[in-house]
């Protein structure tokens, strides 16, 4: 087994041409890229919260597509595109679009941001999707992407495997670099301090489940990231039986109150 990330230039078991066309379009779109920059102002500059900008989106999208690839290889069924009569090639497109646009509601406010993301993302999708789909398929894709965006950080339960992936991937961006800015500005809340304790997150093919997530922390404070935040993302995602999460405290000092957590 070896650590995986999503490599667009690699050969994939699933149809990937449409995904790469859509991702290239998003990366070259000035409006989308401005949102990814502007959405970081409220959470980081004004609320001293963890990163929710372009870097966060890049990590979440990479991990979401890595989860998709590992789950696909593991024979997990996806129902989002399928229920709508869409193609297998549209499954990763739903994941990629939702992962890219999930946090744009932060331009309005951090609080309740998924609900603000919905109308903003809907406007963008109305412009982007017709570049790749006819009217009927664009409508169906829009609904699936918005469902995944809504369910990434709300009480609403993901009803599709694609949405569950985006929800879990959002929680997997937890390493210490994410909380660098609020920490440097004096932020010492539990989200910031616990994130500082997380040294690495790796995804690979598992033996007991299609996906093994390994988390290394150097301080027991990291337990909050895993047992509170990430656990909440996994529970109800629909991926509980397909993803195994193991967190290990690698501290060689006296901070071994918690040595290992497994979800």
User: Residue 30 falls within a domain, yes or no?
Assistant: yes
- Looking up residue 70, the CATH number of its domain turns out to be 1.10.3210
Cα dihedral: 144, 148, 149, 153 (round 10) = 160
User: Structure tokens of 169?
Assistant: 């991937």
Q: Give mean pLDDT, residues 207-235.
A: 90
In a domain, residue 197? The reply is yes
Higher-scoring residue by pLDDT: 229, 24: 24
Sign of the alpha-carbon torsion through 18, 27, 184, 190: negative
Q: Give the pair of three-digit tokens for residue 7.
A: 């490599």
| pLDDT over threshold 70, residue 253 | no
Residue 11 belongs to some domain of the structure: no
Q: What residue numbers bound the domain in which 21 lies?
A: 17-262
**pLDDT > 90? residue 164:** yes
Model confidence at 186, pLDDT cuts 50, 70, 90, reads: low
Q: Cα separation of 126 and 217, whole Å? A: 42
Decide if 258 is inside a domain: yes
d(CA 175, CA 261): 16
Give the count of domains, the chain: 1
Instruction: Give 182's Cβ-side CA count (13 Å radius).
Output: 25
pLDDT, one tens digit per residue, over 98-118 is 999 999 999 999 999 999 999
The reported pLDDT for the residue numbered 180 is 56
Q: Residue 7 domain-assigned?
A: no
Give me the pLDDT at residue 262, please.
86
Cβ–Cβ under 8 Å, residues 21 and 132: yes
Domain-located, residue 124:
yes
Q: Is residue 240 part of a domain?
A: yes
pLDDT tens, residue by residue, 5-34? 999 999 999 999 999 999 999 999 999 999
pLDDT of residue 228: 83
State the DSSP code for 4. B
* Cβ-based neighbours of 149, under 8 Å, separated by 6 or more: 98, 101, 102, 114, 117, 118, 121, 166
Confidence of residue 229 (pLDDT cuts 50, 70, 90): confident
In a domain, 6, yes or no: no
pTM of the complete model: 0.91
Q: For residue range 127-143, what is the model confidence (pLDDT) as tens digits? A: 999 999 999 999 999 99
pLDDT number for residue 224:
83
| Percentage with pLDDT > 70 across the chain | 89
pLDDT for the residue numbered 178:
55
Q: What is the mean pLDDT of the chain?
A: 90
Which of 82, 214, 246, 234 shows the shortest CA–CA distance to 165? 234
**Rounded to whole angstroms, what are the CA distances from 255 to 214, 217, 218, 219?**
19, 11, 8, 6
């Amino acid at each position: 087994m070896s650590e995986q990330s999503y490599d667009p230039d690699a050969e994939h078991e699933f149809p990937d041409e449409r995904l790469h066309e859509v991702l290239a379009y998003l990366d070259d779109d000035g409006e989308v890229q401005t949102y990814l920059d502007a959405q970081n102002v409220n959470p980081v500059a004004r609320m001293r919260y963890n990163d929710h900008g372009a870097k966060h989106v890049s990590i979440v999208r990479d991990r979401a597509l890595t989860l998709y690839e590992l789950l696909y290889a593991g024979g997990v069924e996806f129902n989002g595109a399928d229920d709508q009569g869409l193609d297998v090639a549209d499954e990763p497109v739903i994941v990629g679009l939702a992962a890219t646009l999930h946090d744009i509601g932060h331009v309005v406010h951090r609080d309740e941001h998924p609900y603000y993301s919905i109308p903003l993302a809907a406007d963008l999708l109305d412009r982007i999707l017709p570049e790749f789909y006819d009217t009927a398929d664009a409508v169906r894709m829009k609904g699936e992407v918005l469902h995944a965006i809504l369910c990434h950080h709300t009480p609403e339960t993901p009803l599709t495997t694609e949405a569950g992936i985006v929800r879990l991937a959002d929680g997997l961006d937890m390493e210490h670099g994410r909380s660098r800015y609020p920490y440097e500005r004096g932020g010492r809340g539990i989200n910031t301090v616990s994130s500082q304790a997380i040294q690495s997150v790796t995804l690979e093919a598992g033996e007991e489940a299609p996906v093994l997530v390994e988390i290394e922390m150097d301080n027991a404070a990291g337990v909050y990231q895993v047992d509170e935040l990430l656990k909440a993302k996994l529970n109800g995602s629909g991926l509980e039986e397909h993803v195994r999460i193991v967190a290990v405290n690698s501290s060689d000092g006296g901070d071994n109150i918690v040595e290992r957590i497994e979800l």
